[in-house]
Amino acid sequence: VPAGINIPNYDDIRQNEGFKNVSLGNVLRASYGAGDKPVTFILERDQALFKAFKGPAFEVQVGIHELLGHGSGRLYHKNSKDSVAFLESKVKCPWDASKVLDGPFYDEGTTWDSTFGKIASPYEECRAECSGIYLCLEKDVLQVFGHSDVVKGQVHDIIYINWLLMVRAGLMGLEFFTPETKTWRQAHMNARYVILRVLLEAAQGLVKLKLINNDTDVLVHLERDLIPTVGKKAIGDFLEKLQVYKSMGDFENASQ
């Protein structure tokens, strides 16, 4: 059951006409319940905090995910006014200033889904989820959701638990992977696993997975103080490429 929806689900309508962002309050409220049992994969030291803040943190994530994740980003089609103006502007590649972005752009009459095919849904969910954990680091964003007790230089509990939720979700997502066919049965779970991999590859002690009970279980260690530095850079760099490849219609690079 979705906790939020960005409608309509057509990029051209969103881009040219507008959209609505819907949060389903009953679904969000259901996420507040934690129960007495320990939460899987979560360290003992984080159990109480996780249970206390997972509902409010999820509400922030859903809001950003739908509004600023799915709701942002322009698509450029070949020979359109937008693409012509874009080429004239000579926009430099964000991660390589020696290069200028010049397409390939979407073919006339094509859409995001028809161009990106099977990876369109998980790719888009990955972009939206990254938007959520990246932008929740902003003080102004937290204040919109009523969290005004932000202290400069400190990682707010909402931020920490939101990131911890994402790391745990990456592990939980493996339930939706079919090894025999090497396919994912759910787009959001695929996206969350990819984000977990990005955070693990960032290294520097940001995220560690510790095997326990004779390697039959695992615990997540998320270094709270590294979220605004190592974590933010890793997700920011990844999100930047996700957005550029989507806007440019660059399926070749996006699919690697």
pLDDT in tens, 186-217: 999 999 999 999 999 999 999 999 999 988 89
Give the residue from 254, 20, 216 showing the smallest Cα distance to 115: 254
Ranges of residues in the chain with a pLDDT under 70 are: 1-2, 9, 21, 28-29, 31-34
Query: What distance in Å separates the CA atoms of residue 224 and residue 222, rounded to the nearest whole number?
Result: 6
Q: Helix 47-64 and helix 157-172: axis angle, to 10°?
A: 90
Q: Is the peptide bond before 8 cis (omega within 30 degrees of 0)?
A: yes
As to burial, measured by CB atoms within 10 angstroms (0-12 exposed, 13-18 middle, 19+ buried), residue 213 is exposed
Instruction: Give the active site residue among 66, 124, 125, 129.
Output: 66
Quick one: pLDDT at residue 32?
62
Is 66 a known active-site residue?
yes
Give the model's pLDDT for residue 1.
58
CA distances from 62 to 137, 197, 233, 253 (A): 14, 21, 21, 28
Closest CA to 130 of 75, 174, 70: 70
Is there a cis peptide before residue 104, judged by omega within 30 degrees of 0? yes
Rounded distance, CA 78 to CA 34, Å?
50
Supply the pTM of this predicted model.
0.91
pLDDT of residue 16: 74
Q: Please give the single-letter amino acid code of residue 49.
A: L
CA distance 242 to 120: 11
**Two structure tokens written together for 249:** 């219609």
Return all residues near 92 (Cβ < 8 A) that are at least 6 apart.
99, 100, 101
Residue pair 231/202 in contact (Cβ under 8 Å)? The answer is: yes
Which residues, in sequence order, are CB contacts of 159 under 8 Å at separation 6+? 57, 136, 137, 142, 227
User: What's residue 28's pLDDT?
Assistant: 65
**Given this model, what pLDDT does residue 31 score?**
61
